Amino acid sequence: KLKLNGTVFMSSVLTLIGIPGLESVQFWIGIPFCAMYIMAVFGNSLLLVIIKAERSLHEPMYVFLAMLGATDIALSTCILPKMLGIFWFHPPQIHFDACLLQMWFIHSFQPIESGILLAMALDRYVAICDPLRHAVIFTHQFLTQIGVGVTLRAALSAAPCVILLKCRLKFYRTTVVLHSYCEHMAIVKQLAADDVRIDKIYGLFVAFSILGLDVIFITLSYIRIFITVFNLPQKEARFKAFNTCIAHICVFLEFYFLGFFSFFTHRFGFHIPSYIHILLFNIYLLVPPLLSPIVYGVKTKQIRDGVSKIFYSKILPDFSFISF
């Protein structure tokens, strides 16, 4: 790298600080983060095993849930190992291209989650508001198309962020990133010595055109669902229909509430200390993967039965050979 007038030209290595202002306690912060990560990976992996093993769960709702679980595992894994390495073993250096790759993964997996939540809302909308057409619409081919479409939308929307940083920005004010992972706005605001308005504008455009539109369509779907549910003649039918949506609504609220809260405080909360911003981002990326399998496990009987079957078949010996 070459230094010129306080700027760094084409730096190949960056330094991730972790959580600035809390360096002395990062070791202890890493312990609950590690516990949350292990629980999230275990819970979502268990969810995937149950959905794959139980043929009764090969329905669109559970296929989308499996997609969500796999995305949660991938999102957590592309962040936590490096973050815990910084907290515990203090190797803060990361290659610039590796940083861009991590950024692309993070900003791809988030829209993928959002797209899956939208697909789940549409699945519930058709199942409750037009049940006779549900099996016709949500075929296996259509589910595959949704998965591919959501993934391509996310990957293509995140690519310009990486391309702009890689190709357009040549000068950097510093090689130190005051963050625990490679987040787009942190790199743009802290590193770039050039004009970064186009990067900021594109980041806002992606947030509102993808996540914002997903929120609008999900909200409209649930409004229509609630209207249909409350118009059902039987109280038992209303309760059953409403109960199938509770888990989706809980996951939807936690994902978007934490996401938009972190997003707006990062961009407009100028008086909030930076370590609060970074802790909020870390929590946003860790809590939904942790809570999703718990919420669905508690609210979905088929998943509870699958968990019981797996653990009781492992724990209890088979006495079927004994005859009386």
> Quick one: how far is CA 141 from the chain centroid?
25
- Sign, CA dihedral 95-96-101-106, equals positive
Query: What is the residue type of 26?
Result: Q
**Sequence-ordered list of residues with C-beta below 8 angstroms from that of 197, at least 6 positions apart, any chain:** none
Determine the 3-state secondary structure of 183 from DSSP: coil
DSSP of 17-82, one letter per residue? -SSTT-GGGHHHHHHHHHHHHHHHHHHHHHHHHHHHH-GGG-SHHHHHHHHHHHHHHHHHHTTHHH
What pLDDT is recorded for position 171? 67
Instruction: Look at residue 45 in the predicted model and tell me its pLDDT.
Output: 92
Beta pairing, strands 7-9 & 171-172:
antiparallel
Token pair belonging to 215? 């929120």
Does residue 54 contact residue 306 with C-beta atoms inside 8 Å?
yes
Look at strands 176-177 and 13-16 and give their pairing.
parallel
Which domains are assigned to the chain? Answer: 20-301 (1.20.1070.10)
Residue 60: name the closest of 129, 147, 132 by CA: 147
| pLDDT at residue number 89 | 83
- Residue 9: how many other CB atoms lie within 10 Å: 12
- Output the pTM of the full model: 0.85
| Mean pLDDT per 10-residue segment, the chain (324 residues) | 50 80 86 92 90 83 90 91 86 83 90 92 88 88 93 91 77 76 79 72 82 88 84 72 74 77 66 78 83 78 76 54 40
Supply the pLDDT for residue 323.
39
Token pair 């039987």 is found at: 234
